[in-house]
Structure 1
Amino acid sequence: MERVKQLAAHFTGSSSGLSSLQSKHPDDVVITLAIRSPLCKAKKGGFKDARTDELMLEMFKHVLSQSKVEPEAIGDICVGTVLTPNAGYYARAAMLAAGFPESVPVQVVNRFCSSGLMAMTTVANQIRSGQIEIGLAIGVESMSENPDKGGPEFSELISSNPASRDCKERMGWTSENVAADFNITREEQDAFAAESFRRAEEAQKRGYFDKEIVPFTVLKKAADSEKRVPVVIKQDDGIRYGTTEEALAKIRPAFPQWGKATTTGGNASQITDGAAAVLVMTRREAEKRGLPILAKHVTTAVAGVPPRIMGVGPVYAISMALKNAGLQISDVDLFEINEAFASQCVYCIKELDIPRDKVNVNGGAIAFGHPLDKPTGPFTPGFQ
């Protein structure tokens, strides 16, 4: 696409960019805590009876117990969520119920599937600008409680614009558009999806996710009653062990109404419930407190694309982020690209020319599921 070529023409990554990224400065923005809930199948999994505010509450409790930071020291909390009505009310009430003092403020952001990442970016930028020293970013979504029903009806003043009309279409339509426009075959999509499941299965079996998952105590309906009782959920429940290309090829297209359909329930992300949190501060503050530094926040880039092919966004955002950091694709060891659909992920990897063995090495959203605020395989954790 012409816009990608234009970005590439202005992109001059170098070893100096990598050297700068690896250097350490007191004002660096760093992550000292990164935890997530298990990711559970919406309507069927471990969180199917849990409310969104209950997931928020549990996440806040885990932050308080594990952060090693007194809650009153947190300068701001930012919660990313997409489908949650009254999210601002829920966020404030849940943080107070968890034990945060009234002096700690909270805000809510919604950038659709990158809302969790936007929450992290928001507090990182607050720290970088000197507004706060410590910030907390939370992402939470219950697609069991709040399923995605597509866009609302728009005013005729808006829907008269073709691109605006596209904003109300279902996401499956955008996947089919990407596959058709860029010649991504059903076979390529199924192969990509099977590999995502294989990697996720292997990672789960060797306990790779244990270090980032915190057990969630939630209320769940008993088998023989409408009464909810406490249960503890400890691991992701959406990974389908033993998934193969051959098995995926037998699944019927999910959207035959849109022509030669190739998107299926097997090569698209699952609808999922989950939550994640990261604690962010300056390196100076982390070292003063003796906290572990897990990662350094370097830059974030956001790019807009035509709504009808929304899944190609990572091509532009990744190119911009690399340019901002002075890096090349070859400088990066691992990439996490959201697997909303195999169609768009295959396209992005091809267009950016990233080796497949560098992308989503422990599986992605096709295998784990995709709570809309947490668009990735589990780590940042779950922010991308």
Structure 2
Amino acid sequence: MRDAVIVDAVRTAVGRRGGSLSQVHAASLSAHVLRALAERTGLDPAQVDDVLWGCVGTIGMQAGCIGRASVLAAGWPESVPGMTVDRQCGSSQQAVHLAAAGVVSGQYEIAVAGGVELMSAVPLGSQRGDGSYGEPYGPDVWARYDGLRFNQGTGAQLIADEYRISRAEMDQHALDSHGRAAAAIDQGRFARQIAPFPLEDGGVLDTDEGVRRGSTLDQLAGLKPAFAPDGEITAGNSSQISDGAAALLITTGETAARNGWRPLARIHTAVVVGTDPVTMLKGPIPATAKALRRAGLTLDDIGAYEINEAFASVTLAWLRETGADPERMNPLGGAMAIGHPVGGSGARLMTTLAHHMKDRGVRYGLQSMCEGGGMANATVLELL
């Protein structure tokens, strides 16, 4: 039976909004990780059957099928196709799922999955334009939900209310995320997964720019609510607006062996769920349950969880609902510290998870992300 393995995974350091990557073209940033992946593995790009690339803001520099543009920008043969995947924040995780399915089914022998987002240049929601071409979702959807509009910040607050998560608890969760990410940087835990990006000033970006050191609870408590005057969701306990890209090489175990590649992990189980689009962000809870059920595993079998920190309430609610060990969740920090380049975040998380599993000998890892419109992917990786 054919399987799907991750031969290698690489990412850029994540740039903060207006930071070192903000003037780079999205196709050029994508091309950087594609070239790095080929160089690290000795891959002949002509062998690649498809490049599946996640991106949310498909307008401007990210329009025109950024997956195909990334292949051309990398200098790969014109015979290598590319496609763009939009499952909102889970776009590049879904790209991995599609690549794995293609490999297992025999449609692909070798595929590359990943994603990119230049949120500095293409702000979230900018593809909606001025309404000249109509608004997303439309009247039938709004009627179904009694005229309620879908807003992630509002959804995050609804989750905090439902699970009785306090502002202080969310702020502490954010501080912990920064602390873990800072420790990971100091210990060199990201060095093997980051392809340093050359900058115009002659330097390189090889360290995630959003990680803050020395912040205090008092400082976070002083931040104003971001979505409602009496709300508890702030910039401090939310994911950061970021720039970045990541890529994974996916093939069968047999093909990997034939090419002399020693894979990082096997894609054991891949699922996706839909959930309430108003609260929107609770998807990782049922997605985790579905993935474990399909995998024949329990949460105790999972040695590390990467649950995207879209907002502190999302990951704290996931912990409360599942009863998972907090020490196993986002052990190297999450999106509140590292950042959340939305279309590339799923691939960034999987890159971090796969390397962490390899570094620490973790047999099973689980990743899940909440997604706009009320969806979530979940993936179980098995160490090889």
* Common topology (TM > 0.5): yes
1:37 matched to 2:12? The reply is yes
Encode CA deviations 1:2-49: one digit per residue, 9 max, x unaligned.
xxxxxxxxxxxxxxxxxxxxxxxx732111110000001012x11111
Q: Deviation at 1:107?
A: 1.2
Instruction: Indicate yes or no: 2:234 matched with 1:252.
Output: no
1:234–1:140 distance in 2 versus 1, CA, 3 Å: same
Partner of 2:208: 236
Question: Secondary structure of 2:247's partner?
Answer: strand
User: Equivalent residue for 2:31?
Assistant: 57
**Aligned residue in 1 for 2:58:** 84
Q: What amino acid does structure 1 have at the position aligned with 2:12?
A: S
Amino acid in structure 2 at the alignment position of 1:217: P
| Residue 144 (structure 1) aligned with residue 120 (structure 2) | yes
CA distance in structure 2 between the aligned counterparts of 1:343 and 1:377, rounded to whole angstroms: 22
Unaligned runs of 5+ in 2: 129-134, 353-366, 369-384
C-alpha deviation, 1:254, in angstroms: 1.6
- Residue deviations 1:307-366, cap 9 Å, x none? 121111100111101011000011111111000000111001110110111111111000
Query: Is it true that 1:110 corresponds to 2:86 in the alignment?
Result: yes
Distance 1:276 1:193 in 2: 24
Indicate if the aligned counterparts of 1:116 and 1:139 stay in contact, CA closer than 8 A: yes
Letter in 1 for 2:227: F
Partner of residue 157, structure 1: 139
2:204 pairs with 1:204 = no
Asked whether 1:372 is paired with 2:342, we answer: yes
Is the 2:71–2:81 Cα contact (8 Å) retained in structure 1? no
Matching residue within 292, 301, 308 for 1:338: 308
Give yes or no for contact 1:71–1:100 (8 Å, CA) kept in 2: yes
Residue type of the partner of 1:211?
A: R
Q: Secondary structure at the match of 2:344?
A: coil
Listed as ranges, the gaps of 5+ residues in structure 1 are 1-25, 220-228
TM-score with structure 2 setting the length:
0.84
Is the aligned partner of 1:322 residue 2:292? yes
Structure 1's 114 and 155: CA in aligned 2 closer, same or farther, altered over 3 A?
closer
- Letter of the 1:52 partner, please give it: A
| Residue identity opposite 2:332 in structure 1 | N
User: Structure 1 residues 255 and 280, CA, compared in 2 at 3 Å: closer, same or farther?
Assistant: same
Q: Distance in 1 between matches of 2:49 and 2:347?
A: 28
Instruction: Give yes or no for contact 1:88–1:108 (8 Å, CA) kept in 2.
Output: no
**Among 242, 254, 259, the residue aligned to 1:289:** 259
Provide closer, same or farther for how the CA distance between residues 156 and 203 of structure 1 changes in structure 2, counting only shifts above 3 A. closer
Q: Superposed, which structure 2 residues align to 1:171-250 within 5 Å?
A: 171-219=152-200, 231-250=203-222
Output the amino acid matched with 2:22.
K
Once the two structures are TM-superposed, the CA of residue 150 in structure 1 deviates from its matched residue by: 7.4
Quote the Cα distance in structure 2 between the aligned partners of 1:169 and 1:42.
24
Give the secondary-structure state (helix, strand or coil) at the position aligned to 1:256.
coil
Partner of 1:347: 317
Paired residues of 2:93 and 2:346 also in contact (CA < 8 A): no
The CA deviation string for residues 172-214 of structure 1, in whole angstroms up to 9 with x for no partner, is 1111111122221112111211111111111111111001000
Secondary structure of 1:135's partner?
strand
> Normalising to structure 1: TM-score of the pair?
0.84
Question: Shift of the alpha carbon at 1:63?
Answer: 2.4
- Check 1:378–1:138 CA distance in 2 against 1; reply closer, same or farther (3 A cut): closer
Counterpart residue identity of residue 107, structure 2: Q
Instruction: State the AA in 2 paired with 1:131.
Output: Q
Going from structure 1 to structure 2, the CA distance change for 1:164 and 1:29 (only over 3 Å counts) comes to farther
> 1:171 is aligned with what amino acid?
Q
Q: What pairs up with 1:128-139 in 2 under 5 angstroms?
A: 128-139=104-115
SS in 1 for 2:246: strand
1:8-27 alignment runs, 5 A limit? 27=2
Is the Cα contact below 8 Å between 2:246 and 2:347 reproduced in 1?
A: no
Would you say the 8 A contact 2:55–2:85 is kept in 1?
Answer: yes
Alignment CA distance shift 1:165-1:112 (3 Å): farther
**Post-superposition offset of 1:215:** 0.7
- Residue of structure 1 in register with 2:364 after alignment: none
Q: What is the rounded CA distance, in whole Å, between the counterparts of 1:127 and 1:182 in structure 2?
A: 40
The residue number in structure 1 matching 2:69 is: 93
Percent of residue pairs identical: 34
Please say if residues 152 and 279 of structure 2, whose CA atoms lie closer than 8 Å, have aligned partners that are also in contact. Answer: no
Aligned counterparts of 2:146 and 2:309: Cα–Cα separation in 1: 24
Whether the 8 Å contact between 1:303 and 1:317 is mirrored in structure 2 is yes
Q: 1:313 to 1:325 in 2, by over 3 A?
A: same
The whole-number CA distance in structure 1 between the counterparts of 2:347 and 2:209 is: 14
Aligned CA distance change for structure 1 residues 144 and 150 (closer, same or farther; 3 Å): closer
